[in-house]
């Protein structure tokens, strides 16, 4: 699922908020994560187990990761990881995502995004 935003994150002239917005509109599932974080792994596994591709942005691997966390704070009210976006919308952290999945609401959100992208492509 890799695309140009992964390599340009943190390097471009645009603000972190703009780069985050671009990433979440380009990818149906985006997980802002840290490689050392087992909550983040748990969140990734929820999507992996549903066979849903996700884009992981590992903030501890980015030079400006801390600025991205500040931007995520502005956008979501928390600078913790994971911060998870589906279909361009913030859905929460690991606990929220797990709850949505248990309620059967997560996969429909992903499918809405797939349908939207399919229509855009036609």
Asked if 95 interacts with ligand GSH (CB under 6 A), we say yes
Asked if 109 interacts with ligand FES (CB under 6 A), we say no
Query: What is the x/- site pattern for ligand GSH, positions 20-59, by CB under 6 A?
Result: --------------x--x-x--------------------
Do the beta carbons of residue 28 and residue 113 sit within 8 Å? yes
Do the beta carbons of residue 99 and residue 45 sit within 8 Å? no
The two tokens of residue 104 are: 């059967």
Report the C-alpha gap between 104 and 119 in whole angstroms: 24
Asked if 39 interacts with ligand FES (CB under 6 A), we say yes
Q: How far is the CB of 42 from ligand GSH (least distance, A)?
A: 8
Q: How far is the CB of 20 from ligand FES (least distance, A)?
A: 20
Asked if 62 interacts with ligand GSH (CB under 6 A), we say no
Report the C-alpha gap between 87 and 41 in whole angstroms: 20
């Amino acid at each position: 699922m890799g695309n140009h935003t992964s390599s340009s994150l943190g390097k471009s002239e645009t603000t972190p908020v703009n780069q985050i917005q671009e990433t979440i509109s380009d990818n149906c599932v985006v997980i802002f994560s840290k490689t050392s974080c087992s909550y983040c792994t748990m969140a990734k596994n929820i999507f992996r187990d549903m066979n849903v591709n996700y884009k992981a942005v590992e903030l501890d691997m980015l030079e400006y990761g801390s600025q991205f966390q500040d931007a995520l704070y502005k956008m979501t009210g928390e600078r913790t990881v994971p911060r998870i976006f589906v279909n361009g919308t913030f859905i929460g952290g690991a606990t929220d995502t797990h709850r949505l999945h248990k309620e059967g609401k997560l996969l429909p959100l992903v499918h809405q995004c797939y349908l939207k992208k399919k229509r855009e492509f036609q």
